[in-house]
């Protein structure tokens, strides 16, 4: 695969990041963050979370720039030694597999709740993974092109959904701003930052980028687009349903979509359209994570890529089916969030410090 002389362009890198970030969060973020913040100031937490994400992106791109054309799987053994690198890589791969499974399961749970009541959830997940494998097997460049096609679709659907729900939004529900002081806002930073997880994809993606020097800019733009869409969604959901109500609902965004009723446009049951959006957004995150996991295995064991894609199918499936019920799925989401802190935050910063010390030492010698 590395033999291909294709490269990912700036715009593609931006799109990939946005599409990786936007995933399950569109339906869970409002409740999870409302649970923590409990005042309507979630959007402020979102902005702060976006700031943190950009700082993290800065560290990640700084680190990857030192090893041009290499993924983290390749350079971590060089940096910290064979065995420590192996452990790091395995942890990152596990994270990607879990995220893929989580995306698949969340997608299926929503589908079961609103559309396919009697269809066994296993079937939905298997079909979803099968389609995913079909694209993952053909490698990063095909995936990137697919995301490029999906990107405008997702953008239009989200904006359409927001435009249609604007009549339900009561801005009084978003007031008072900072009524409870700054502490609730700070409480919300963790869930909102985690909803923007996805920047870790640059640990791998930068190796395939055409101009890796512009990676920081691409990351910033990508995060900004995702952040912007998420903030709009949060404002719409809180504005239409109130914070107190959002905390009661399993899938607040879907409830907002369900309350869209436009007699003028003869439009009811917009949720059917939303389900399309939902499947696409989770699918893009799913294939990216699936790809990163199988690529990781192939690079760690220095073997061909395709067998690992097939080999991972049962693991992804097991991760998806591991949670017993919906609360289990939310719990898994929580664990993944904590893992994301390690993968996107702690590991890159640690590696960056080590690289920095090494370079100093080399300079001395």
The residues with which 209 forms a beta bridge, in sequence order, are 8
- The stretch near another protein (CB under 8 A) out of 198-206, 212-220, 243-251, 273-281 is 243-251
Contact 114, 107 (CB under 8 A): no
- Which residues have C-beta within 8 Å of that of residue 106, sequence separation ≥ 6? 24, 27, 28, 282, 329, 333
- 235 φ, ψ (degrees, to nearest 5): -65, -40
Instruction: Choose between 241 and 279: whose C-beta lies nearer to another protein.
Output: 241
- The residue behind tokens 């929580």 is 334
How many residues sit in the footprint of another protein (CB under 8 A)? Answer: 25
Supply the minimum distance, in Å, between the C-beta of residue 146 and another protein: 25
Between residue 102 and residue 141, which ones bind another protein under the rule CB under 8 A?
113-120, 123
- The stretch near another protein (CB under 8 A) out of 9-17, 66-74, 201-209, 252-260 is 252-260
Choose which of 217, 258, 306, 358 interacts with another protein (CB under 8 A). Answer: 258
- The residue behind tokens 């991972």 is 312
Choose which of 62, 247, 306, 358 interacts with another protein (CB under 8 A). Answer: 247
Supply the minimum distance, in Å, between the C-beta of residue 140 and another protein: 32
- 344 φ, ψ (degrees, to nearest 5): -90, -25
CA distance 203 to 69: 11
Choose which of 7, 68, 210, 269 interacts with another protein (CB under 8 A). Answer: 269
Instruction: Choose between 39 and 289: whose C-beta lies nearer to another protein.
Output: 39
Supply the minimum distance, in Å, between the C-beta of residue 147 and another protein: 27
Instruction: Choose between 66 and 242: whose C-beta lies nearer to another protein.
Output: 242
Between residue 18 and residue 57, which ones bind another protein under the rule CB under 8 A?
none
The residues with which 8 forms a beta bridge, in sequence order, are 209
The residues with which 262 forms a beta bridge, in sequence order, are 267
Q: Is 272 in the site for another protein (CB under 8 A)?
A: no
- The stretch near another protein (CB under 8 A) out of 59-67, 221-229, 239-247, 317-325 is 239-247
Task: Output the CA–CA distances (angstroms, integers) from residue 152 to 15, 17, 147, 157, 161, in the order listed.
Answer: 10, 14, 9, 8, 14
Between residue 162 and residue 181, which ones bind another protein under the rule CB under 8 A?
172, 175-176, 179-180
Instruction: Choose between 81 and 179: whose C-beta lies nearer to another protein.
Output: 179
- Dihedral sign for Cα atoms in the order 258, 24, 104, 101: negative
Residues, the chain? 365
CA distance 272 to 114: 9
Contact 231, 42 (CB under 8 A): no
Choose which of 125, 241, 329, 340 interacts with another protein (CB under 8 A). Answer: 241
Strand ranges (DSSP E) for 36-184? none
Instruction: Choose between 118 and 364: whose C-beta lies nearer to another protein.
Output: 118
Q: Which residues bind another protein (CB under 8 A)?
A: 113-120, 123, 172, 175-176, 179-180, 241-242, 244-245, 247-248, 255, 258-259, 261, 269
């Amino acid at each position: 695969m590395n033999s291909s002389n294709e490269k990912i362009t700036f715009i593609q890198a931006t799109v990939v990041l946005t599409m990786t970030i936007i995933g399950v969060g569109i339906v869970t973020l409002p409740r999870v963050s409302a649970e923590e913040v409990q005042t309507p100031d979630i959007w402020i937490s979102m902005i702060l979370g976006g700031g943190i994400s950009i700082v993290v992106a800065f560290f990640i791109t700084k680190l990857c720039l030192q090893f041009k054309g290499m993924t983290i799987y390749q350079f971590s053994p060089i940096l910290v030694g064979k065995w420590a690198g192996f452990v790091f890589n395995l942890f990152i791969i596990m994270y990607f597999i879990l995220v893929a499974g989580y995306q698949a399961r969340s997608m299926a749970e929503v589908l079961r709740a609103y559309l396919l009541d009697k269809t066994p959830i296993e079937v939905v997940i298997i079909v979803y993974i099968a389609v995913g494998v079909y694209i993952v097997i053909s490698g990063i460049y095909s995936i990137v092109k697919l995301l490029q096609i999906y990107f405008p679709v997702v953008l239009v659907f989200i904006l359409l959904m927001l435009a249609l729900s604007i009549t339900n939004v009561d801005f009084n529900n978003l007031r008072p701003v900072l009524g409870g002081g700054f502490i609730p806002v700070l409480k919300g930073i963790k869930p909102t930052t985690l909803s923007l997880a996805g920047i870790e994809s640059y640990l791998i993606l930068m190796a395939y980028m055409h101009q890796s020097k512009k990676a920081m800019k691409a990351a910033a733009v990508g995060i900004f687009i995702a952040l912007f869409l998420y903030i709009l969604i949060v404002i719409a959901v809180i504005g239409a349903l109130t914070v107190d109500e959002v905390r009661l609902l399993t899938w607040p965004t879907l409830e907002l979509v369900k309350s869209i009723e436009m007699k003028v446009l003869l439009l009811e049951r917009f949720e059917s359209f939303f389900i399309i959006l939902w499947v696409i957004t989770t699918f893009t995150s799913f294939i990216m994570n699936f790809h990163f996991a199988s690529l990781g295995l192939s690079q760690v064991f220095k073997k061909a890529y395709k067998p690992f894609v097939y080999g991972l199918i049962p693991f992804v499936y097991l991760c998806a089916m591991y949670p017993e019920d919906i609360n289990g799925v939310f719990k898994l989401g929580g664990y993944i969030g904590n893992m994301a802190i390690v993968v996107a935050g702690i590991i890159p910063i640690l590696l960056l410090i080590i690289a920095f010390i090494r370079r100093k030492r080399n300079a001395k010698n």
